[in-house]
A = this chain, B = another copy of it.
Amino acid sequence: MEPYIHKVQYYETDKMGITHHSNYIRFMEEARAAFLEQIGYSYHRMESEGLVSPTVSVNVEYKKPTTFNDIIKIEVEIQKVTVVRSFWNYKMSVNDEVVCLATSSHCFIDNNGRPISSKKASPALHELLTSLAKEQ
């Protein structure tokens, strides 16, 4: 998989002179969307199949500050997939130095906001994510 690249924008910095920590949650989303697009299962495709995958948890460890114009490389991997949740890992680095480590988990809901099993809702997606998961 191609790592995702995010270039830090001026509006993403704060008065400490560094990238505001809330933005890393957004970079994770960008990287996750790009990952899903790469494997042929974009959010758009999911949504067209009546499937939405809201975030259930995030854990972020900020290792080093970044700032305007920094090129953040984000490596994404799927840790585990169950019928109700997917678990993701993120490693962000600038010039090969780790700046942030993070995980997130996501459930699956239908268009009415009800939790559903990904296996039932989209067996193809479930299988694809499972095949890519680190923990089988």
Contacts and interface: CB of A to CB of B under 8 A. Distances in A.
A17 to B, nearest CB: 5
Q: What range describes how many residues of A lie at the interface?
A: 35 or more
Contacts of A25: 21-22, 25
A74 interface: no
Contacts of A52: 16
Nearest to A107: B62
Interface stretch (A26-34, A89-97, A116-124): A26-34
Given A43-B69, A56-B61, A61-B56, A14 B21 contact: no
B54 A62 contact: yes
Contacts of A56: 61-62
B30 A20 contact: no
Contacts of A33: 9-10, 69
Contact of A14 (B10, B44, B65): B10
Contacts of A65: 54, 113
A68 B43 contact: yes
Given A56-B62, A58-B59, 16 more contacts: A11-B20, A11-B26, A11-B29, A13-B14, A14-B14, A14-B15, A15-B17, A21-B54, A22-B22, A22-B23, A22-B29, A54-B62, A55-B62, A57-B59, A57-B62, A59-B59
